[in-house]
Amino acid sequence: MFDAILGLLAGRDSSAARGGEDDLRACVAALMVEAARMDDRFDAAERAVIERLLADRFSLSAPETRALVAAAERAVAQSTQIFRFTDSVVQHVDVADRVRIIEMLWEVAYADGVLDPHEDQLVRRIAGLIHVSDRDRGLARQRVLQRSGRDPVDKGVSRA
């Protein structure tokens, strides 16, 4: 199963119809890894958040989750674009679940306690590509900030 996912993520398998749930898992994992890597650091806190979110969202075991994240990391390292990941999300996910994916991306972006401007830009770009409105993107961000105990008015963007 994970060889097929890695093939999809690496662009070797362009069969969108074949993917279904595996395709969605792979694409969401890749988007989350991309968000974590945007500040040139992929730390343990971000990895833990990604693994928790993927396991919860897709009912995966710990070994399945680790394998999915590892495959997503390899694919993102080899990829130059996110369109194939976002396109699959648009094709397989309704709007409410797309908003939840944006919320998951905000959780990854804030996992290390600081929102890097590149992370912020990526989440905004992904939201546009998967047709999530600015309003829904902003509300998803506020929910993440509220759960983390941060002030929802504080954008948390690092000025360094």
| Residue 156 located in a structural domain | no
Residue 39 vs residue 118, higher pLDDT: 118
How many domains is the chain built from?
1
pLDDT > 70: what percent of the chain? Answer: 81
Residue 11, phi-psi category: left (phi > 0), alpha (psi -120 to 50), beta (remainder): left
Residue 19 has pLDDT above 80, yes or no: no
Write b or e for each residue in 126-144: b if 16 or more Cβ atoms lie within 10 A of its Cβ, otherwise e.
bbebbebeeebbeebbeeb
97 part of a folded domain: yes
In-domain check, residue 89: yes
CATH code: domain of residue 140: 1.10.3680.10
* Residue 113: partners with Cβ closer than 8 Å, 6 or more residues away: 45
Write out pLDDT tens, residues 63-84. 999 999 999 998 888 877 888 8
Q: Is the pLDDT score of 103 beyond 90?
A: yes
The SS3 of residue 115 is: strand
* Residue 3: per-residue pLDDT: 53
pLDDT for res 17: 39
- Is 160 part of a structural domain of the chain? no
Res. 14 pLDDT band, cuts 50 70 90: very low
Is 153 inside a domain boundary? no
- pLDDT reading at 27 higher than 80: yes
Burial pattern 63-100, b for ≥16 Cβ within 10 A else e, equals ebbebbbebbbebbeebeebebbbebbeebbeeeebbb
pTM, two decimal places: 0.79
Give pLDDT, residue 148: 84
Separation of first and last alpha carbons in the chain: 42
Domain assignment of residue 157, yes or no: no
Q: What DSSP string describes 39-62?
A: TS---HHHHHHHHHHHHHHHT--H
Tell whether the model's pLDDT for residue 149 goes beyond 80. Answer: yes
* Within-domain flag for 103: yes
pLDDT given for residue 79 in this prediction: 77
159 within domain boundaries: no
Going by the DSSP 8-state scheme, the letter that residue 157 receives in this structure is B
| Tokens 């912020």 belong to residue | 120
Quote the domain boundaries for residue 118: 2-148
Higher pLDDT, 105 or 149: 105
